[in-house]
Amino acid sequence: LFTHVPAYPGDPILSLMESFQRDARPEKVSLSIGLYFDEAGRLPVLDSVRQAAQFLAANVEPCGYLPMEGLATYRQLVQNLVFGAGHEAVRAGRIATVQTPGGSGALKVGADFIKRYFPQAEVWISDPTWDNHLAIFEGAGFRTHGYPYYDASSGTLCFDRMLETIRGLPSGSVVLLHASCHNPTGLDLSRQQWGALIPVIVERGLIPFVDMAYQGFGDGLDEDAWAVRALVDAGAQAFVANSFSKNFSLYGERVGSLSVVCTDPATADNVLGQLKATVRRNYSSPPAQGARLVQHVLQSPELAASWDADLADMRARIKDMRARLHQALHAHFGERRDFGFLLSQRGMFSYTGLTEAQVDGLREQHGVYLVKSGRMCMSGLSRDNVQYVADAIITILEE
Ligand code: PMP
C-alpha cells in the first residue's frame, strides 16, 4: 500500500542536532538549532514560569476542551503585549486574536484563512527566511516567491531592492515580514526603512503578514513590536503571528497566537468566526497548559516583571556573546577582516558569511556545529566556549 511513499529526508536543522548528540568529542559546541540556552548550556526554566506551573499544579482543574479560539483572558493579554495595552486598535475591538499551537500554528491558520478568502493571492517572503515559512505557505496551496533581503557579497540588507520588488507587487499579494530578530540573518530593517516600506504596503493594497517569533530578544518587548504597531498606526490591515516558544522558554507547550487587525469591530467579529472555523478544520481547539502558564504570568504584575527581567538577562547574554566573539576574532584579524556584523545583527542568529565548506570544516575538524547556510545561533556560546569557537573559526578562515 505504501510503496510509493518516499523516505522523509528529515529537517536539516533537526538532523544536525541528532549528529551533534552522537558526537563523542567533549569540546563540541552546538550553534545550530534556534533555542535559547543559558550560560551553562541548558534550556532555562524561567522563575515566573516555575511559579505559574506550581500554582497550576496546586490548583488542578478539569481538563475540558478550550474554545476553538483559545482562552479569552490569554487572548486579551496577547493583544496588549503585541499591540500595546491601550492601543487604539485594541481598545476599539478591531483585532481578531486566536490562541494557536506556537508561532507555526499561527502561520498555518493564517495561511489557510488567506487561501480561502484571497484564493488568487501569491506570497512574498524574504530571501532567505526560516525554511518552514515556505513549507507552511506552499502546504496551504500558495505559490511563494522571494523578495531580495540579504546581499551575500556585502553581508548587508539590500533594502532598496526589497522596496523596489514590493512596490511592484500586484495588489492583494501577501508580504511576509519578520517583526525583529530576522531568522536566519539577524538583520532587521531600521525604523527609517520601515517608515519607507509601510506606506508602500498600505498604498499598494498588499496584505502584510508579520511573524514575531522573538519578541523581547532584540531590544525589548515594546521595541521589538515597534514595526507591528507602526503598520497598524498607518492604517494597515495585517496578520500578526506571535510565539511564546523562545521568550517564555516554553517550546514544547506549543503556545502562540494569530491576530488579524481589521478596520472595525464588526469585521473583526466575522474574521474571528472564520478563524475559529479554520482552527476547527485543522486541530479543533488549542492545547491548554502553555496558554494557562503564560496567562498566569502576564496577569500578575510581579510575575510579569520577573519575566521581563529574565528576558532582559537573556538578551544581555546574547549581546555579551556577540561582543566576546567579535573581540576574539578582531584580536586575531585586526583590520584584515571585518566582523562588525556580529555586533549590529539582532536576536539569536548571526549570518556569518562562512561557506558550506567552511561550515563542514568547523563541524568535522572542531565539533562546532552551524547550519550549512552559515547561520550561527549565538545562544550556544558561553564564556567557557567562545574562545574555542573563535579559534576554530580562525583556523578555518586561515586555511
Ligand atoms: N517564525 C520564526 C521566524 C521562527 O524562527 C520560529 C521558530 N523557529 C517560528 C516562527 C515558530 O515558532 P514555534 O516554535 O512557536 O512554532
Note whether residue 192 is domain-resident: yes
Do 157 and 276 share a structural domain?
A: yes
Do 352 and 251 share a structural domain?
A: no
Distance CA 121, CA 117 (A): 9
The pick from 16, 99, 130, 244 for probing ligand 1's pocket by mutation, whose C-beta has the most ligand atoms within 8 angstroms, reads: 130
46-52-55 Cα angle (round to 5): 145
pLDDT in tens, the chain (399 residues): 999 999 988 888 888 889 999 999 999 999 999 999 999 999 999 999 999 999 999 999 999 999 999 999 999 999 999 999 999 999 999 999 999 999 999 999 999 999 999 999 999 999 999 999 999 999 999 999 999 999 988 889 999 999 999 999 999 999 999 999 999 999 999 999 999 999 999 999 999 999 999 999 999 999 999 999 999 999 999 999 999 999 999 999 999 999 999 999 999 999 999 999 999 999 999 999 999 999 999 999 999 999 999 999 999 999 999 999 999 999 999 999 999 999 999 999 999 999 999 999 999 999 999 999 999 999 999 999 999 999 999 999 998
Asked whether the CA dihedral 325, 331, 335, 336 is positive or negative, the reply is: negative
**Element holding 395 (H helix, E strand):** helix 386-398
Do 389 and 337 share a structural domain?
A: yes
Mean pLDDT of the chain: 96
Note whether residue 146 is domain-resident: yes
Which residue, among 169, 104, 106, has the nearest Cα to 143 in the 3D structure? Answer: 169
Note whether residue 58 is domain-resident: no
Cα 216 to averaged position of ligand 1 atoms, centre (Å): 14
Residues 256/103, Cβ–Cβ less than 8 Å: yes
Note whether residue 98 is domain-resident: yes
List all residues whose CB is within 6 A of at least one atom of ligand 1: 34, 102-104, 130, 183, 211, 213, 243, 245, 256
Do 326 and 224 share a structural domain?
A: no
What's the CATH code of the domain at 375? Answer: 3.90.1150.10
Residue 106 CA, closest ligand 1 atom number:
16
Give me the number of domains the chain comprises: 2
Domain range enclosing 278: 63-299
Do 386 and 327 share a structural domain?
A: yes
Residues with Cβ within 8 Å of 342's Cβ and at least 6 positions away in sequence, in order, are 322, 325, 326, 329, 350
The pick from 211, 242, 253, 375 for probing ligand 1's pocket by mutation, whose C-beta has the most ligand atoms within 8 angstroms, reads: 211
Do 337 and 277 share a structural domain?
A: no
Do 239 and 118 share a structural domain?
A: yes
Do 394 and 279 share a structural domain?
A: no
Do 280 and 248 share a structural domain?
A: yes
Examine the fold and report which residue of 299, 333, 365 is the final residue of a domain before the chain moves on: 299
What's the CATH code of the domain at 186? Answer: 3.40.640.10
Note whether residue 103 is domain-resident: yes
Nearest CA to ligand 1 atom 4: 213
Cα 28 to averaged position of ligand 1 atoms, centre (Å): 25
Residues with Cβ within 8 Å of 244's Cβ and at least 6 positions away in sequence, in order, are 102, 250, 253, 255, 256, 290, 294
Burial environment of residue 277 by CB neighbours within 10 A (0 to 12, 13 to 18, 19 or more):
middle
Cα 104 to averaged position of ligand 1 atoms, centre (Å): 6
**Residues with a known catalytic role:** 130, 211, 246
Cα 278 to averaged position of ligand 1 atoms, centre (Å): 20
Model confidence pLDDT, tens digit, residues 4-22: 999 988 888 888 889 999 9
The pick from 13, 126, 132, 375 for probing ligand 1's pocket by mutation, whose C-beta has the most ligand atoms within 8 angstroms, reads: 132
Do 151 and 18 share a structural domain?
A: no
Residues 198/361, Cβ–Cβ less than 8 Å: no
The beta strand positions in 200-247, using DSSP E, are: 207-212, 238-243
Model confidence pLDDT, tens digit, residues 36-55: 999 999 999 999 999 999 99
Do 376 and 320 share a structural domain?
A: yes
pLDDT at 15: 86
Residues 84/224, Cβ–Cβ less than 8 Å: no
Distance CA 111, CA 113 (A): 5
Q: What is the pairing mode between strands 368-369 and 29-30?
A: parallel
Do 255 and 128 share a structural domain?
A: yes
**What predicted TM-score, i.e. pTM, was given to this entire model?**
0.96
Residue 182 CA, closest ligand 1 atom number:
3
Cα 103 to averaged position of ligand 1 atoms, centre (Å): 5
Is the interface score ipTM higher than 0.90? Answer: yes
Q: How far is the CA of 87 from the CAs of 18, 75, 81, 91, 95, in angstroms?
A: 44, 15, 10, 6, 11
Cα 105 to averaged position of ligand 1 atoms, centre (Å): 9
Residue 130 CA, closest ligand 1 atom number:
3
